[in-house]
Amino acid sequence: MSAVTFDDQLASAATGPEGELLDTVRARRAQRRGSRVKPMRVLLHSFLVLMAVGWLIPIGTAIYNSFRDYQTDTQPNGPFAPPEMLTLDNYRAAWDVGEMSKTFGNTAFIVIPALFLTLLLAAIVAYVCTRYSWKFNIVFLVLFTAGNLMPQQVLFQPLFQFFKYMPWPDFISDTNTGNLLGTKVAVILIHVAFQIGFCTFVLSNFMKTIPKEISEAAAVDGAGVWRGFFQVILPLTRPALAALGTLEFTWLYNDFFWGAVMLNQGDERPITSSIAILNGQYGSDFNLVAAASTLIALPTLIVYLALQKQFISGLTLGASKG
């Protein structure tokens, strides 16, 4: 990936009058390098390979040993030994004791609406703030950006009380307390409120690069505020939304804190937050822990492997100033 861009930059640098000079310099340097730099490259590659192996060891051994029995195999023979027998028992046990069919369901119930709402609302705010100049847009963007960096622990107690006094019909959640406290809806609301900050920041950076004339032309043709959003800007924002959606999916899926403190009872916890319970009860069977970790990590790893480009550009979108 970097190779392509580097070449692109070389190509663009080589156009223009000073390009020819640069070309000769570069050619001369390449000649010199050809004889000298090779040992450095070998060193570099061995370092990188060594590091890569080190990076893969924790997850590699975890996955490998999740297919072995701890008591009879890993403990006496060691984590790298050839297996006496490969088994799926750890996975079955982890699935059952972690009540994963339920906790995965809880995660889906929280992540999907939260993701959709966050992206939609953030896109709307970014649209208004970048397309229509008005007094408060910078205030909002500053507020949103700063809010996203707030330590979550600081918000938690007032939110807890706040949800306790928010009436909420019981038939939507299964807490039977008549309020929002301990419901998944409360966690969705927190996620949306919190993540809007980062998403608005990123999307407004992106939308700034869309020429204003496009919106103005649409307005001249009689498109109102909403049509200008849904039919003009939103389609153009699709790449940023895809990247951001991928990133936000893993963040929401990976949320541990809110699921753990807001869904205290444990019954409604999403999968990531249920780790604490699992660890408390079955933490000494290390291969069961490995199987459970693998299961929990699997969705994000699949998303990463399938959508790596989106993922990385999502991260770096937030970093660029647009």
Nearer to another protein, 152 or 177 (CB): 152
Map tokens 């951001």 to a residue. Answer: 244
Helices (H) and strands (E) in the chain, counts: 17, 0
Instruction: Give the dihedral of Cα atoms 154, 157, 162, 164; nearest 10 deg.
Output: 150
Contacts of residue 149, defined as CB under 8 A and 6 or more positions apart, other chains included, come to: none
To which H or E segment does residue 290 belong?
helix 286-306
Nearer to another protein, 179 or 254 (CB): 254
CB 82 → another protein: shortest distance, Å?
15
Nearer to another protein, 171 or 239 (CB): 239
Task: Return the structure tokens found at 322.
Answer: 């647009």
- Is 62 in contact with 295 (CB distance < 8 Å)? no
Which class for 24: exposed (0-12), middle (13-18), buried (19 or more C-beta within 10 A)? Answer: exposed
Nearer to another protein, 68 or 173 (CB): 68
CB 238 → another protein: shortest distance, Å?
19
Contacts of residue 314, defined as CB under 8 A and 6 or more positions apart, other chains included, come to: 202, 243, 244, 245, 246, 247, 248
- Is 256 in contact with 56 (CB distance < 8 Å)? no
Nearer to another protein, 72 or 308 (CB): 308
CB 176 → another protein: shortest distance, Å?
19
CA distance 168 to 181: 9
- How far does CA 6 lie from the centroid of its chain? 27
CB 252 → another protein: shortest distance, Å?
10
CB 171 → another protein: shortest distance, Å?
24
Nearer to another protein, 175 or 289 (CB): 289
CB 265 → another protein: shortest distance, Å?
13
